[in-house]
Amino acid sequence: MHTALFTHSACLDHDTGEGHPECQERLRAVLRALEDEAFMFLDRREAPRVTREQLERVHPASYLDSLEAAMPQSGYATLDADTLVSPGSWEAALRSAGAVCAAIDAVLAGEARNAFCAVRPPGHHAEPDKAMGFCLFNNVAVGAAHARARGMRRVAIIDFDVHHGNGTQTYCQHDPSLLYLSTHQWPLYPGTGSAREHGDYENVVNACLGPMSGSPEFRHAVQTKLLPRLDAFRPEILLISAGFDAHSRDPMAGLHLMEDDFAWVTEKLGEMAAKHAAGRMVSVLEGGYDLRALANSAAVHVKALMAV
């Protein structure tokens, strides 16, 4: 079985306007990096649209209706101070969430060992009833709900984006079948994710990293806080919110990870997936705003997925 790559050209039609950090060129940079000969054996698949049923497991119908109605026929519409949408944004969001569900289906069917979803808009800031932080649908939460609907009893989400995934935590924190583990800079946008937030069932672990933290602090947090909790949870599938904005070059925050750190954490998560989940692991692109760092980091992440 190979690693599958799910993406769709519609994700490039989500136009956020000149100068916006969550731009179309982000995805182009990742996809160019994955055209290298090293990735010739990727199982490349077109992301389908997510279904209304899949979305409504996380997002109420009233939110979905109001979000679709907010999409402009031309130009741009502003959902919050950070989140802009254009005529192509709705289709891009449908394909982004659909990619995660389809990747889970492929992994559960044994068609792929694991998968990477190269999609945008990202998702982990989207609350069930609110778009925010560049995010419309919470792609990884929709995927977790889909995995539960497919019979997975224990679903773990690991988020190493530099920003805390507030929307994902909101979705997970009341459900003992879900585990949310996050490393992120603290304090930082969106202001959630303190180490004191544990979820109703101790099913949330926030490993906070101070500004200027680098590889030693990140790896120590993963090894001492995330991996032991993941091991105890014994997930049947692992989902990854793969944000690469903790890279030292990234302009949006102040951590100092390098490409080797993203390869290392992917390998460690792969070991946990092999131990508990028959290798089942699906990763979805979140942040990363320096194009060179993003492309290089995504490439080593996917190489590690192919190797586990």
> Which residue is it, tokens 């909790």?
229
The three-state secondary structure class of 2 is coil
Joined together, the tokens standing for residue 70 give: 């907010």
Nearest to 126 by CA among 97, 102, 162, 101: 97
**Vertex 216: Cα angle to 212 and 222 (nearest 5):** 105
Give 262's contacts (C-beta < 8 A, 6+ positions apart): 160, 242, 244, 247, 297, 300, 301, 304
Bridge-based pairing state of the strands 84-85 and 77-78:
antiparallel
Give catalytic residue positions: 125
Give me the torsion for CA of 146, 241, 103, 32, rounded to 10°.
150
Query: From the CB of residue 47, how many other CB atoms can be counted at a distance below 10 Å?
Result: 26
